[in-house]
Amino acid sequence: MDELVLRGMAKWPNVPAVYDWLSLDRRGQWFIRGDRVSNPAVTAFIGRNFGRDQRGCWFFQNGPQRVFVSLDYAPLVLRVAGAEGAPLELEAHTGKRVATLEGAWLDEEGSLLLSTNLGPGLLDDRDLDRLMPAFVDANGNPVGEAVLENLMDLAARQQAVPLWLRFRESNVKIDSIRAADVPQRFSFVREPRPPAAAGGEVKKR
């Protein structure tokens, strides 16, 4: 977190938290009460000070105040980074690069979820075409477009498929998952709510 934020937390440790104010969509865009945040400096500031609590609720630490985030799908949105044709690199919407992948899943809508060292992330659907060369078979060979489309369709229907994702030096197996099961599987909350004990400690804007 930013040094300014840490100083604010230390100076005012009991500022009430905020809910139902900030949200993150499936393409990594921040919204404040339904209005998209378009200022790059603001989005970068939010990204640098984005984290999770022990309940699995993700928040933006705005100085001394914790602003909880409503998630359209996952706490991170991942994009393909680097030049076209180069080895696959992934970057979260917060600006941080992914170092490792622990798993990959396709849901019934064809959305690709990745378990990373940064946390669980949804691939931005606009980057799926750029990811295509990284899909491989059991032997590490690239999968043809027609075969890939068929396998992804089967995975979306919750069927096991022989499909892997090549990331750096590893081939990560792709499994099936239902979108509704994602929060429980990865221990996060899509719609944070105040803990019952908070009482009057919570603000809604």
Determine contact, residues 67/18, Cβ cutoff 8 Å. Answer: yes
Distance CA 137, CA 143 (A): 6
Q: Return the closest-CA partner of residue 170 out of 123, 147, 199, 136.
A: 136
3-state secondary structure 29-71: CEEECCEECCCHHHHHHHHHCEEECCCCCEEEEECCEEEEEEE
pLDDT reported for residue 1? 60
Residue ranges, CATH 3.10.540.10, the chain: 3-72+190-204
Instruction: Fold for 3-72+190-204, please state it.
Output: duf1285 like fold (3.10.540)
Tens of pLDDT along the chain (205 residues)? 656 655 555 554 677 889 999 999 999 999 999 999 999 999 999 999 999 999 999 999 988 889 999 999 999 999 999 888 788 999 999 999 999 999 999 999 989 999 999 999 999 999 999 999 999 999 999 998 888 889 888 888 888 889 999 999 899 999 999 999 999 999 999 999 998 744 434 455 5
